[in-house]
Amino acid sequence: MENKILELARKLISIPSTKGETANLTKVLEIARRELAGFACREFESNGIPSLLFFNREELPKKFMVILDGHLDVVPGNPEQFKPTVTGNKLFGRGAYDMKSAAAAEILVFKELASKVRYPLGLQLVTDEETGGFNGAKYQASRGVRTECMIAGESSSDLTMSIQAKGVIGMKIEFTGMTGHAAYPWEGRNAIRDLNLFLSKLWKQYPIPAKKVWKTTVNAAIVGTTNLTSNKIPGDAMCRLDIRYLPGEGDKTINKIKSWLPENATVEIPEHEPARNTPENDKYVQRFLKTAKKSLNRTVPIIGKNGASDVRHYPDAAGVEFGPVGAGPHADNEWVDIKSLQTFSKILKDFLLSFPEK
């Protein structure tokens, strides 16, 4: 199985399936389709973004018991990153860890077990997770796709499990000042100054952590003004914030930030994605933990994820993120541990085979 996973992973990594490359997004899905020839499949497309859903029934089930979720899109990389290489026990390449290798394992696990399990099992393959998943996983959900449990093979830090993940808020704040001649600053209102005073409060309340922490964080991603003249008081300024909030802290964080703004500021929230918080005592979580413990001969740690995944688009399902060993997602030296792919695959198979016939 390990060699088959490696071979398929290398095929997937070799496709530069990045945002806007529609032909490549289709091409990478076709690799999966050929691998799963003969299985029932529903095609989806939203705003030019393609995705697939394979299932082990003649007709699309009203509700799956388990869906394996994988994304085959990646962030941009250097040309050489789309030429996968193996050094020792590591597979290097764009998407090796996030998450084409895990997707390859999921494809082969589905291929092996789809006809063996008696409950509705699905495999969801999307091509826009890196840009929010709105036209892939979320679109499929809007078209009636449902499941009791969703497992995403996302990078989860060395075969650990994540059942909690931060939510995402995108906030745009605009400051309106009063223009004037720079020689007479008292005659205008400098919008950049208002922005700077606000950011000072923001950094004080949400300092940049020195290391990984499980707390709400705020990133000031973009700042700007339309003013292009140095001898003019800027009459406008803006900033874009990316907020990663803990479960239960979304609205509280928005209200706190709004309370620091002056009267000349307006707020837009173009993005407000939910946090994920599957209870540890959930029956699917407990079964997965039990299965993984047997395979690894150790207890699987449960961690919180700072980043979001497509699991959040199925808030009514038990959501699990569990991936192989690796490092460097989105980095130039991204890699995955090849042997851990076999372990990852075995845990998935043991979990899927652990259910009584249904």
Q: Are residues 147 and 24 part of one domain? A: yes
CA–CA dist 61, 55 (Å, integer): 8
The per-residue pLDDT for 357 is: 60
Q: Give the predicted TM-score (pTM) of the model.
A: 0.87
Residues 142 and 172 in one domain: no
Domain count, the chain: 2
Identify the CA nearest to 53 among candidates 72, 31, 69. 69
CATH code where residue 250 lies: 3.30.70.360
Clarify whether residues 237 and 261 are in a common domain: yes
What string of DSSP letters covers 256-268?
A: HHHHT--TTEEEE
Q: Where does 227-264 show beta strands of DSSP type E? A: 232-233, 236-245
279 in the same domain as 159: yes
Residue 220 lies in a domain: yes
CATH of the domain at 44: 3.40.630.10
Domain shared by 253 and 334, yes or no = no
Question: Residue 290: its pLDDT value, please?
Answer: 95
Indicate whether 125 and 244 sit together in one domain.
Answer: no
Q: Which of 226, 253, 273 is the last residue of a domain?
A: 273
Determine the Cα–Cα distance for residues 83 and 61; give it in Å rounded to an integer.
38
Tell whether 198 and 251 lie within a shared domain: yes
Which among 228, 257, 273 is the end of a domain? Answer: 273
The verdict on 115 and 66 lying in the same domain is yes
Same domain, 175 and 254: yes
Question: CB of 319 within 8 A of CB of 305?
Answer: no
Domain co-membership, 329 together with 316 = yes
141 and 254 belong to one structural domain: no
Query: What local confidence, expressed as pLDDT, does residue 1 receive?
Result: 62
| Position 357 in a domain | no
Domain enclosing residue 246, as ranges = 167-273
Q: Please check whether residue 197 is in contact with residue 265, taking contact to mean a CB–CB distance below 8 angstroms.
A: no
Sign of torsion, CA 27 32 38 40? negative
Residues 80 and 155 in one domain: yes
Q: What is the mean pLDDT of each run of 10 residues along the chain (358 residues)?
A: 90 97 97 97 97 96 97 96 96 97 98 96 97 95 98 84 93 98 97 98 96 93 97 98 95 97 97 91 96 91 86 94 94 96 96 83
Confirm whether 358 is domain-assigned.
Answer: no
Last residue of a domain, one of 249, 273, 297: 273
Rounded alpha-carbon distances, angstroms, from residue 226 to 69, 171, 181, 231:
43, 19, 16, 14
